[in-house]
Chain A
Amino acid sequence: MTDQPEQHPITGLDDVVHQRVRLGILTVAHQAGRVEFGFLRTALGLTAGNLSQHLSVLEKAGLVEIEKGYEGKRARTWLSLTPAGNRALREEVAQLKRLIHQIEHGSSAPES
C-alpha cells in the first residue's frame, strides 16, 4: 500500500471562480446579499458588456441567480449567490489561505 501524494492547493482552485473579475463579483454579492448590476459595475470598474459576459459564465455554472425587473420606468438587474455560489466562494478563499500557508511554511495547512 502506497501513500497518496498530498495534492497541491492550486489543484483545488476552480477556474470559473478563480478568475479575478468573477471572484470580485462573488465577493460583492456575498457581502451584499443582493446586488444591482450598476453597483457591481462601479465597484469593480467594468464596462457593462464585460460585466454581462462574466455574469453569464457564473449563471451558467449555477453560482448566481439573476433577476430582472423594473422600478418605475427604470430597468434593473439584481443578482444574488446561489448556495453553490456561496460554497464555491468559501472553498476558493480556503484554497487561497492554504496556498499562502504552503508558500510561507512549505506544507499544506490542515483542513479548516
Chain B
Amino acid sequence: MPSSGTPREVLAGLGDLTRKVRAAQRGTWFPLLLLGVLTLGGILVGRFTFKIEAVACPAGEAAVGGCTLVTQGSALYWPLGLALAYAATAFFYIRRSRNRGVGSRVRPYVLTGIVLVALASATALWSLRHGVAQLGEPLDFWGLHLDPASGLTRFLERLAGNAMAVGLPLLVLARVERSRALLLLAVVYLAVELVPLSTGWAGIPFTSPWSALPTFGVPGVLLLLGALGFGLAELSGRRNAS
C-alpha cells in the first residue's frame, strides 16, 4: 500500500507495489528448464544421428587412409523442440496468470518463438534441399558464398544456431520480466555459444559419436543451473511473502 506521507514516500510505496507484482508475474525457471533440457537433448540427437563415411579427398589434400566426413544432428529436432518449448511456455504462463490472479506479458515470448521456429524451419528446409557441402567447395548459404573452413563461416553457424534460437528468447525474457539476473545469464549464455568450443579440451575427438557433448553440454548445464537458481529464488521469495 502506498504511504500517505511525503511525495517521495508515496512514489517509493508505488515502486514496492510494482516489484511485488513483477515477482508474482515471473516464472523464469520454467522456460530455462525447458531450454536446458532441449539443449542437453541435442547431445542424444547428435549421438543417434552420428554418421561417419569415407569420402574422396579434395584436390591437393590427399591424406593417408583417405578422408572422412562426419555428420550428425537432425533438421527436425530444433524446429519441433522450439515449437513445443514455446507452446509449453505460453501455456505455463497463462495457467499461472489465472491461478495467481495477475496478468502476464506472454505475447513477446510467443512472437519471438514463432519467428525463431520459422527461421529454424527455413534453415532446416534449406539444408535438406542443398544436402551436405562437399569438402573444398564453397558453401552457398542464402546467396552468400562462404568458405566452410573459414572462421567467419563458423561464427555465422554458431550465431545462426543456438545463440539465436535460445539466446534471443532469453534476452526477450529478461526485457519482459525486467530481470537483471536473467540479462546476465543471457549474456553469459551468448558468450558460451559464440566462443568456439573445440572438442579437444574435453578429450573427445570429433570422430566420436559423443562429440556434441561439450557443444551442448556446457550451455545446457548453464541453463539448468539458471533454472535451479531462479526456482530457488522464487521459492524463497514466496516463503518470505507468506
Chain A positions within 8 Å of B, measured between CB atoms, are: 20-21, 23-24, 27-28, 31-40, 43-45, 71, 76, 78, 80, 93, 96-97, 99-100, 103
Contact = CB atoms under 8 A, between A and B. Distances in A.
B24 interface: yes
B88 interface: no
Contact of B103 (A27, A34, A96): A34
Contact of B17 (A28, A37, A97): A28
Interface of B: 1-4, 6-8, 10-11, 13-14, 17-18, 20-22, 24-25, 97-98, 100-105
A41 to B, nearest CB: 9
A24 B17 contact: yes
Given A28-B17, A32-B103, A34-B103, A20 B25 contact: no
Given A23-B2, A43-B17, A45-B1, A33 B105 contact: yes
Given A32-B103, A39-B24, A100 B7 contact: yes
Interface SS of A by simple majority: helix
B18 A20 contact: no
Given A32-B21, A43-B20, A96-B10, A20 B4 contact: yes
Nearest to B15: A27
A71 B98 contact: yes
Contacts of B98: 71
Contacts of B25: 31-32
A20 B63 CA distance: 80
Given A96-B11, A100-B7, A103-B7, A38 B21 contact: no
Given A93-B14, A100-B8, A39 B3 contact: no
A111 B8 CA distance: 18
Contacts of A24: 1-2, 13-14, 17
A109 to B, nearest CB: 12
B101 A39 contact: yes
10 contacts: A27-B14, A27-B18, A28-B21, A31-B18, A31-B21, A31-B22, A32-B21, A32-B103, A33-B105, A103-B7
Given A20-B2, A44-B1, A96 B102 contact: no
Nearest to B3: A20
B2 A27 contact: yes
Given A36-B102, A100-B8, 9 more contacts: A20-B4, A20-B13, A28-B21, A31-B21, A32-B21, A32-B102, A38-B101, A44-B1, A44-B17
Contacts of A31: 17-18, 21-22, 25
Contacts of A76: 101
A97 B24 contact: no
A-B pairs, top 5 by smallest CB distance, nearest first, are A36-B101, A39-B101, A34-B103, A33-B103, A31-B21
